[in-house]
Amino acid sequence: MRQADRARQAFAEAFGGQPEGVWAAPGRVNVIGEHTDYNEGFVLPVALPQTTRAAVARRDDGVVALVSLQHPGERVEVAVADLAPGRPGGWAGYPAGVVDALRDRVPGGLSVLVDGDVPSGMGLSSSAALSCSVALALRDLAAPELAVADLVDVARRAENDFVGAPTGILDQSASLLCTAGNALFLDTRDRSSEQVPLDLTAAGLELLVVDTGTTHDHATGGYGDRRRECEQAAERLGVVALRDVPDLAGLAPLDDGTAEGALLLRRARHIVTENARVLEVVRTLRGDDGPAAIGPVLTAGHASLRDDFEISTVELDTAVATALEVGAAGARMVGGGFGGSAIVLVDAERTAATVTAITDRFAVEGYRAPRTFAVTPAPGAHRLG
Ligand code: GAF
């Protein structure tokens, strides 16, 4: 059954009527530019073919009613007037947070049926896919004067203020603004963006996602620590954001002989070198050398996330090292870290051998079997019907 029909049918079963429409928003992988977004730097994501779908209809009883096919048996109902950070919590917090951000537009409430296939907790931005599908639905139904780019902040506020995950704008921008066949080169400071063609098939390459099956949660723990450390480093350097440090020499004041200084230096060094890597990858993709030439830059990005930012895991390091051992052009962990997925840029003829090598190595190490799939840059959020 088509995705839109499946969502419509499930909506009718859950709410007893037809939705006003069905909207889809994708997950993402970031080609390069990790943790740069909340440092006002550069990112280069592509949208995944996997999406979250939201079948939506306005109501007139002042209630937000939420059902997800991925959480069977759970029906969340909250009065619009009672929406507050953390209420509701869990998966329902993302769509509820979007309604909260636009609550004056839907005083009568909303019914939302969610369906999707973006793996959750795997660094592939399932939460932004969920928020963005509902944000686009609300825009189309009740806030037509908003541009799609305005929805980036609607979805970000849902995540930051309602759910309590202190993320930047990478995931929401990717889900809303990516286009098929392109990577999105975004300056998160002034929000200017360009579409950078990324035709891997023509170059005989594949971009593999390796989902290690280890999950993370950005509302708790290490992600927030890294954000605070970057803010501290920027403050010590007297800059608004680490984006303003032009090169490694600019980090010298952090090297004050203390353990704290050394830690802040490592964190800031990742941001400075990662911004440079985004610019280098964009330059390379626009040049004549072909996309395989970005491989070593991706691999350098992994080393930086592992050694300087310290957010990789043994599973991610093993996936990357194994891929490189069997001849991948480049590989790195993606997303917020502390689990999740890696990407591998590989000659298409070597894909099967690479997957086998990683799977075998995970079995030997006693890790959970990885899931792998190839990505071609897909469209951003859109109405399905
Ligand atoms: C998570 C966050 F949500 C993004 O804002 C970004 O910081 C990313 O981690 C790391 O690049 O996905």
Atom of ligand 1 nearest to the CA of 38: 7
Q: What is the pLDDT of residue 116?
A: 97
What percent of the chain has pLDDT above 70?
99
Atom of ligand 1 nearest to the CA of 34: 11
Q: What is the pLDDT of residue 121?
A: 81
What percent of the chain has pLDDT above 90?
95
Catalytic option among 37, 171, 211, 308: 171
Q: Is the pLDDT of residue 215 over 80?
A: no
- For ligand 1, pick from 120, 167, 278 the residue to mutate: most ligand atoms within 8 Å of CB: 167
pLDDT digits (tens, 9 = 90+) for 255-299: 999 999 999 999 999 999 999 999 999 999 999 999 999 999 999
- Nearest residue by C-alpha to atom 3 in ligand 1: 167
ipTM: 0.99
114 phi and psi angles, rounded to 5 deg: -110, 140
Give distance in angstroms: CA of 211 to centre of ligand 1. 16
Burial of 345 (C-beta count, 10 Å sphere; 0-12/13-18/19+): buried
C-alpha distance from residue 304 to each of 245, 366, 372, 380 (Å): 17, 26, 23, 29
pLDDT digits (tens, 9 = 90+) for 10-45: 999 999 999 999 999 999 999 999 999 999 999 999
Q: Calculate the CA 347 to chain-centre distance.
A: 25
153 is catalytic: no
72 φ/ψ sector (left φ>0, alpha ψ -120 to 50, else beta): beta
Atom of ligand 1 nearest to the CA of 128: 3
pLDDT digits (tens, 9 = 90+) for 137-165: 999 999 999 999 999 999 999 999 999 98
C-alpha–C-alpha distance, residues 64 and 80, integer Å: 6
Q: What is the pLDDT of residue 221?
A: 73
Atom of ligand 1 nearest to the CA of 33: 11
Give distance in angstroms: CA of 257 to centre of ligand 1. 30
Q: What is the pLDDT of residue 214?
A: 87
Average pLDDT over residues 190-205: 97
Q: Which two tokens stand for residue 235?
A: 């403050």
Looking only at the bridges linking them, the beta strands covering 205-211 and 371-375 are antiparallel
Give distance in angstroms: CA of 170 to centre of ligand 1. 6
Average pLDDT for the chain: 96
Q: Is the pLDDT of residue 229 over 80?
A: yes
Q: Which two tokens stand for residue 34?
A: 């990790």
Q: Is the pLDDT of residue 219 over 60?
A: no
Q: Is the pLDDT of residue 218 over 70?
A: no
pLDDT digits (tens, 9 = 90+) for 98-145: 999 999 999 999 999 999 999 988 889 999 999 999 999 999 999 999
Q: What is the pLDDT of residue 123?
A: 86
Query: Given pLDDT bands bounded at 50, 70 and 90, which one contains residue 216?
Result: low
Q: Domains for the chain: give ranges and CATH numbers.
A: 3-195 (3.30.230.10), 200-375 (3.30.70.890)
pTM above threshold 0.90: yes
Which residues line the pocket of ligand 1, CB cutoff 6 A? 30, 34-35, 37-38, 125, 167-168, 170-171, 218, 335-336
C-alpha distance from residue 60 to each of 48, 63, 97, 108, 109 (Å): 35, 8, 19, 4, 6
